[in-house]
């Protein structure tokens, strides 16, 4: 409630200040009795915005206390938006991991070794047909020419 009241006061001051400045530029008085409707709207909008902001902050604090999946979002401000996993997805991943461990323990499944990229060694006399992505453009084009030449020799082109 304290957060809401503070936010409400700030929002009300900002909204009334902006309305007063706009009205003063056009030669109107904001505190004229005919403007009471505008003041009411300003108060209601400030209340709504303050309520929404305070609820968002309260939910974020609850999530941080409960240790939910979005707790890791404290590393980066945007990681919670783009990298978060739903509770259902996390539960499914946990079930799959538990089942995998159970099958490995029973001997029905072999443990996976980390996959290493297989690079076929090229003999010293041959030109490579694949180069790393970080290679220069000239190397990439030379490898492309070599792949084209080999494909032509094999009758693929």
Comparing 125 with 20, the larger pLDDT belongs to 20
Q: Is residue 89 part of a domain?
A: yes
Give the E-state strand segments of 63-136 in sequence order: none
CA–CA separation, 86 and 106 (whole Å):
30
Count of domains forming the chain: 2
Question: Which residue range is the domain that position 70 belongs to?
Answer: 2-106
Q: What is the DSSP letter of 33?
A: G
Q: Is residue 132 part of a domain?
A: yes
Q: What is the mean pLDDT of residues 101-122?
A: 74
The percent of residues above 90 in pLDDT, for the chain, comes to 33
Q: Are 20 and 30 in contact (CB under 8 A)?
A: yes
Q: Is residue 27 part of a domain?
A: yes
Q: 19: number of CA atoms within 13 Å, CB side?
A: 21
Could you tell me the pTM of the whole model?
A: 0.41
**Which value, in Å, is the radius of gyration of the alpha carbons in the chain?**
32
Residue 24 sits in the same domain as residue 93: yes
| Residue 9 backbone phi and psi in degrees, to 5 | -60, -45
Q: Are 55 and 32 in contact (CB under 8 A)?
A: no
Residue 99 sits in the same domain as residue 58: yes
Q: What is the DSSP letter of 132?
A: -
Taking only the tens place, the pLDDT of each residue in 13-59 is 999 998 889 888 988 888 888 888 889 999 999 999 999 999 998 88
């Amino acid at each position: 409630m304290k957060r809401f009241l503070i936010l409400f006061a700030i929002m009300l001051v900002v909204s009334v200040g902006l309305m007063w400045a706009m009205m003063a530029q056009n030669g109107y008085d904001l505190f004229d009795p005919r403007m009471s409707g505008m003041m009411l709207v300003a108060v209601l909008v400030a209340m709504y915005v303050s309520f929404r902001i305070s609820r968002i902050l309260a939910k974020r604090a609850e999530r941080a206390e409960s240790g939910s999946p979005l707790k890791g979002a404290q590393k980066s401000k945007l990681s919670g938006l783009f990298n978060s996993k739903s509770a259902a997805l996390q539960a499914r991943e946990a079930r799959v991991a538990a089942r995998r461990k159970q099958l490995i323990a029973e001997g029905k499944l072999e443990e996976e070794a980390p996959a290493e990229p297989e690079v076929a060694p090229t003999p010293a006399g041959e030109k490579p047909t694949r180069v790393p992505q970080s290679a220069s453009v000239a190397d990439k084009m030379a490898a492309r020419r070599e792949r084209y030449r080999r494909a032509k020799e094999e009758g693929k082109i």
